[in-house]
Chains A and B, each alone.
Chain A
């Protein structure tokens, strides 16, 4: 099949023909006639300079296409065409990134969803790829703190980045890219690393235009060591934001079941903090199943203990406690099977799974068992939830 292309388009029903985008474009990729304002795919460099100046948001539209819409077609539109479906191609979902490198990382991370990932219906519209490898944003490290105990097996860090003057809007669940400086052994620029943002949309500290990351040092890993070694005051080039499906639902009535291990907790910290700040009395429930070896190895163990149970029902699960049998997240899910079955049967419930790929099977089997017990069919329910934007997997 022919390669698919991401095409930048303008929504003619929302555009007011002010031509500000046309003035902004340094490559003359945008032009207009008496009817519409259009983008020439041959000239557009995806630099995003036109996005922020648009007063309407009509400029921020993208379609995955096999054959790009011509200028003539765009000039004749009364409305934007629907996204075409491409049979058997998972690539045709929401636009998670514009850079192929990042998009393939996300496609791999979302593979466990079992089909085309779909954003929750009530999720905010995310901005995607405002900054790219060619045009990165420069962030300054505001802090770098170890989250796990000194004697823990893993060094997991909480890193706060100040975004300065950069307009870098993030929706909870999105990721950013970090490209370590320099070249690899083959003399090529380093590959980009993708990290989930651990802070909510209004920043690690509201009004401070910053964000935080949860990063595990992988022994011998070049990228994670670069990030974990960053010191306060260091500058780092970042790209993104990325991801357009693994996003918090805005509906306060949405129940959110979050299942994670290790640094997979990052987006869930953002989810929880957003609900705490923006909708503390939301009627929807939030449940967290969070697995680690011991409390000392569970990132954010201390802060989590201060989160009220009315906001977040916590199941912190440990597999290496002395004198206790090993317990994994799927084991705990089975002990509250009735409650979970009730939630799963509710159209307001969203499931998010984030962590190591290894956890997928166990969690999936647990859901299947929970459903069986309640007379539900997980294999039928899961695709429905996914298509409805209520089942999300991001694993690595």
Chain B
């Protein structure tokens, strides 16, 4: 059978020959109603009947995976799609480097691998839960559609991880798959596994920042899992990355359009001082210092997702060939790292300095550094938007030690510029650096829905290009 074509003969579209794999098919069909229940309960609130112009993959080859059409979200064809197998693929790193990639779970690494898949899987439904109330305040039908595209694809990514659990992890896998539907973002009893995924997403600027910063962590994690010696995981993640790109796009352009509108409004009103916050807010746009505070918050919450700087677990996962580094195959080293070192930023004797550590135990750190570089480039592109309008302001990433809750810096009180201070002073100045309740109230006051095709809320600029090259007044969501 041609593995690039999607099989729609089973309830679950797939390109993995599910129809011939009765055991897994049955397990997934039993899981399916629970998933739909979860989606109806925890998915986008109030829009389950709307016709949304969504992208659905009909095959994993380039021409077929971006098919656009109106779909009601509960009828979206969530499926299991793996990137085509690479013939003769070998494990690209770790102790098993050069050996043929595993098509089955290597017994000795079963628990670790399952843990990696469950953690990845848990983030997918979590973000859908975090974003479920945003539809009510969407600044346009275009943005509403983009939100829903992100949501259904996070749903599909959950499917992807659940497939791996059902297919390769037997009874344990089934239980873990069920648990993924039981945890709830922000719940006191049964929270999602990672901190940033239990935070609220109260407004659209948070949503854009979340998709830029937190989904970018997701991208980095997927990139490193796409290197995995466990071939089904690698192929799953490779196809997920093509979808993840849309989420990056929503975040980067969402923040970019917010900045654009703010700068334009300032110029129109003749306001040159970006710190004239009251004057700028009187224009009904989000002032740049508040955007910086939101950036500080979401960037630091996302840094916490990379775990401890020095980690034996991460070293084990690398050596075992389960989880590689960002762009592993493009890195010029031996990919085994037995004797290699990596500089890790630490707080030593009252100052920050780089200390060499065994590269293996600093794997998380390396991924975090690559992540920061990726973020910096995006922030640079936002600054170009500001520059072009002539407003004198630049956004920047805060210091890595600022506002941390996990890792070596979590016990320190550090300003965004890296200044170390007492906890009292930090607490007193917190609202200079992170969104205050009043900032939140102001942003909240702007969050009024805009539902006429082609119209945009006053705080955000329209996009430069429509989705699927559609014209500006295209009706991206037909409300029921």
Given A78-B384, A207-B69, residue A20 in contact with residue B242 (CB < 8 A): yes
Decide: A50 and B62 in contact? CB cutoff 8 A: yes
Q: Which A residues from 254 to 298 make CB contacts under 8 A with B?
A: none
Any A CB within 8 A of the CB of B66: yes
Interface residues of B, CB < 8 Å — how many? Answer: 36
Chain B residues contacting A45 (CB-CB under 8 Å) are: none
* Distance to closest chain A CB from B157 (angstroms): 15
Q: Mark B372-389, 1 if CB is under 8 A from A, else 0.
A: 000001100100100000
Given A122-B471, A250-B471, residue A23 in contact with residue B242 (CB < 8 A): yes
Chain A residues contacting B65 (CB-CB under 8 Å) are: 52-53
Chain B residues contacting A127 (CB-CB under 8 Å) are: 469
Chain B residues contacting A165 (CB-CB under 8 Å) are: 58-59, 64, 67
CA distance A60 to B248 in the complex (A): 19
Q: Which A residues from 175 to 218 make CB contacts under 8 A with B?
A: 207
Decide: A55 and B471 in contact? CB cutoff 8 A: no
Chain A residues contacting B467 (CB-CB under 8 Å) are: 57
Q: Mark A117-153, 1 if CB is under 8 A from B, else 0.
A: 0000010111100100000000000000000000000
Chain A residues contacting B248 (CB-CB under 8 Å) are: 16, 18, 55
Decide: A125 and B469 in contact? CB cutoff 8 A: yes
Q: Which of A20, A122, A126 is in CB contact (< 8 Å) with B245?
A: A20
Decide: B469 and A16 in contact? CB cutoff 8 A: no
Decide: B66 and A53 in contact? CB cutoff 8 A: yes
Q: Which of B62, B66, B249 is in CB contact (< 8 Å) with A16?
A: B249
Any A CB within 8 A of the CB of B437: no
Chain A residues contacting B351 (CB-CB under 8 Å) are: none
Given A14-B464, A52-B62, residue A124 in contact with residue B469 (CB < 8 A): yes
CA distance A49 to B468 in the complex (A): 15
Decide: B469 and A57 in contact? CB cutoff 8 A: yes
Q: Which A residues from 25 to 62 make CB contacts under 8 A with B?
A: 34, 48-50, 52-53, 55-58, 60
Chain A residues contacting B464 (CB-CB under 8 Å) are: 13-14
Decide: A60 and B377 in contact? CB cutoff 8 A: no
Decide: A16 and B253 in contact? CB cutoff 8 A: yes
Chain B residues contacting A125 (CB-CB under 8 Å) are: 465-466, 469, 471
CA distance A16 to B257 in the complex (A): 13
Q: Which B residues from 233 to 259 make CB contacts under 8 A with A?
A: 238, 241-242, 244-246, 248-249, 252-253
Any B CB within 8 A of the CB of A94: no
Decide: A55 and B245 in contact? CB cutoff 8 A: yes
Decide: A58 and B465 in contact? CB cutoff 8 A: yes
Decide: B245 and A169 in contact? CB cutoff 8 A: no
Any A CB within 8 A of the CB of B171: no
* Distance to closest chain A CB from B226 (angstroms): 10
Any B CB within 8 A of the CB of A321: no
Q: Which B residues from 464 to 480 make CB contacts under 8 A with A?
A: 464-471, 473
Nearest-CB residue, chain A, relative to B251: A16
Chain A residues contacting B471 (CB-CB under 8 Å) are: 122, 124-125, 250
Any B CB within 8 A of the CB of A5: no
Q: Which B residues from 51 to 79 make CB contacts under 8 A with A?
A: 58-59, 61-70
Nearest-CB residue, chain A, relative to B247: A55
* Distance to closest chain B CB from A78 (angstroms): 7
Given A50-B62, A56-B249, A56-B253, residue A250 in contact with residue B242 (CB < 8 A): no
CA distance A107 to B308 in the complex (A): 63
Decide: B62 and A24 in contact? CB cutoff 8 A: yes
Decide: B468 and A169 in contact? CB cutoff 8 A: yes
Chain B residues contacting A57 (CB-CB under 8 Å) are: 465-467, 469
Decide: B59 and A34 in contact? CB cutoff 8 A: no
Q: Which B residues from 401 to 447 make CB contacts under 8 A with A?
A: none
Chain A residues contacting B242 (CB-CB under 8 Å) are: 20, 23, 53
* Distance to closest chain A CB from B475 (angstroms): 9
* Distance to closest chain B CB from A20 (angstroms): 5
Q: Which A residues from 1 to 29 make CB contacts under 8 A with B?
A: 13-14, 16-18, 20, 23-24
Given A16-B378, A122-B471, A165-B67, residue A53 in contact with residue B62 (CB < 8 A): yes
Any B CB within 8 A of the CB of A166: yes
Chain B residues contacting A250 (CB-CB under 8 Å) are: 471, 473
CA distance A207 to B65 in the complex (A): 17
User: A52-B65, A130-B63 provided; 15 other pairs, C-beta below 8 A?
Assistant: A14-B465, A16-B381, A18-B244, A23-B238, A23-B242, A49-B61, A55-B246, A57-B465, A57-B466, A57-B467, A125-B466, A126-B469, A165-B67, A167-B66, A169-B469
**A residues near B, CB below 8 A?**
13-14, 16-18, 20, 23-24, 34, 48-50, 52-53, 55-58, 60, 78, 122, 124-127, 130, 165-167, 169, 207, 250
* A-B contact list, 16 entries, CB within 8 Å: A16-B252, A16-B381, A18-B249, A23-B242, A48-B63, A52-B63, A52-B66, A53-B65, A53-B242, A57-B469, A122-B471, A124-B471, A125-B465, A130-B63, A165-B59, A169-B468
**B residues near A, CB below 8 A?**
58-59, 61-70, 219, 238, 241-242, 244-246, 248-249, 252-253, 377-378, 381, 384, 464-471, 473
